[in-house]
Amino acid sequence: MFDNLSGRLAEAARSLTGKGRLTESNIKDTLRQVRLALLEADVALPVVKTFIERIREQAVGEVVGRSLTPGQELVKIIHAELVTLLGSETAPLDLRAQPPVVLFLAGLQGAGKTTTAAKLARRLIEKDKKRVAMVSVDVHRPAAILQLQTLAGEVGANFIESQSSEDPRAIVDRALDESRRTHVDVLLVDTAGRLHVDDDMMNEVVAVHERAKPHETFFVIDSMAGQDAVNSARVFNERLPLTGVILTKTDGDAKGGVALSVSEVTGKPIRFIGVGEKTDALEVFHPDRMASRILGMGDVLSLVEEIEGKVDREQASKLAGKLKKGKGFDLADLRDQLQQMMNMGGMAALLDKLPIPGSVNTAALKGGADEKQLKRQVAIINSMTPGERRFPKTINGSRKRRIASGCGLQVQDVNRLLKQHQQMEKMMKKMSRGGMQKMMRGMGG
């Protein structure tokens, strides 16, 4: 998300290079560029207008400090305004109410409600150690109920059954009773969505909401859906007392307009973002980090948190110990590394969070090590014998052919992987012998 916008904003800031201070006239052009960049990213027009106005007010007359260039000064102001636009603060889930705490998900069909319900359930079960139940009141689409059932099973939540023949309000009453009886801490209510806002749907969702009396009412919105989605957010916000927004599919190539408009349009904070299809791909939303990401300043904090949570420390120290003893980095070790990268969402997810200037094109890098690619590399290693993994040098032509056909790939794919392993092995050797410094020197020379 935001790839294009980041580049355009960086360009706009660069146009101020060489100016001594920010003045009405020298920022005029720059602000026009910022305005265009935002409109192209599909940010709602009224949002763009107020945003630009706020920046103009602050920028003009700003005495540029000695440590900052005017371009940097403007970036600083834009950053602060982006944070305001994105809702300023992070609001955690409030789970202190008398159980069952009810979380309610509303939104259009396809926005990602059911998937998000499963992600929230998983988070509550794994992180907060809560007993979670899930219910669907989508009596119009039996497939939606089934989908929720499957996901509930996957994440270990209780699934409360519902039938297409039932009144959605009766389902809610039953779900509340059952949750109380079985001492459930949190009940997640997944609602019906249509492709467009219509009165019947709105009336139904409002009626269900009144019965459920939820503690949190989330509007789930697809970041790829553009202006229409923002308009639907406005309608839902008028009919339901929303407590927050959950923005899905931020891992895709959305332009960013929905993310930047929805909070301002509804006056409600974005609370979580969906960063993938799997049930662990949900992050707490941090406006400041997202603003940094938009400006190409990277989101190193999120990255660090993610690595802390996902890197297998035991495995890492085992590898370190092995290298210290001079035992070398074999293909089984490479497989562990690739699997860890997959856990972190692949190279694309990592690159999005690193402070890479918007002008740098990371597409090639992302393409080279996406999840599919990582999976193929792991498949190649899986197709080897333990001996081959331990002693890659024994892999001759006929072994390569066997390995390739074992995983349905070409010999050249096997060659590429072996080459990659050799390079990493070299790097690891340097690291274990001379430590970091030597490696850095090696990379420089």
Residues that constitute the known binding site: 107-114, 190-194, 248-251
Interacting residues with ligand GDP between 180 and 239 (CB under 6 A): 193
Distance between CA atoms of residues 428 and 70, nearest Å: 43
CA atoms of 228 and 231, how far apart (whole Å): 5
Q: Is residue 114 involved in binding ligand GDP (CB under 6 A)?
A: yes
Residue in 389, 392, 391 with CA at minimum distance from that of residue 378: 389
Choose, by CB under 6 A, the member of 9, 34, 111, 121 that binds ligand GDP.
111
249 or 286: CB nearest ligand GDP:
249
Quick one: 42 or 251, whose CB is closer to ligand GDP? 251
- Torsion of the alpha carbons at 340, 343, 348 and 352, rounded to the nearest 10: -100
Question: In the complex, what is the shortest distance from the CB of residue 251 to ligand GDP, in angstroms, rounded to a whole number?
Answer: 5
Rounded least distance, CB 306 to ligand GDP, Å: 15
- Tell how strand 186-190 and strand 101-106 pair up: parallel
Q: How far apart are CA 424 and CA 428, in angstroms?
A: 6
Pick from 211, 139, 214, 135: which is nearest to 175 by CA?
Answer: 135
Residues numbered 270-299 forming contacts with ligand GDP, rule: CB under 6 A:
274-277, 281
Find the shortest distance in angstroms from Cβ 429 to ligand GDP: 38
Q: Which of 46, 61, 65, 110 binds ligand GDP (CB under 6 A)?
A: 110
Nearer to ligand GDP, 71 or 107 (CB): 107
In whole angstroms, the minimum distance from the beta carbon of 139 to ligand GDP comes to: 14
Examine residue 249 and tell whether it contacts ligand GDP (CB under 6 A): yes
The answer to whether the peptide bond before residue 100 is cis (omega within 30 degrees of 0) is yes
Q: Does 113 bind ligand GDP (CB under 6 A)?
A: yes
The answer to the question of residue 158 lying near ligand GDP (CB under 6 A) is no
- Return the number of the residue (190 or 413) whose C-beta is nearest ligand GDP: 190
Applying CB under 6 A, among 3, 42, 204, 251 the residue interacting with ligand GDP is 251
User: Which parts are annotated binding residues for GTP?
Assistant: 107-114, 190-194, 248-251
Q: Does 269 bind ligand GDP (CB under 6 A)?
A: no
Please tell me whether residue 357 binds ligand GDP under the rule CB under 6 A.
Answer: no
The nearer residue to ligand GDP, 68 or 146, going by C-beta atoms, is 146
Q: Of 16-24, 88-96, 109-117, 261-269, which segment contacts ligand GDP by CB under 6 A? A: 109-117
Residue nearest to ligand GDP (CB): 274
* Residue 420: both structure tokens together: 């990659």
Residues of this chain that interact with ligand GDP (CB under 6 A) are 107, 109-115, 193, 248-249, 251-252, 274-277, 281
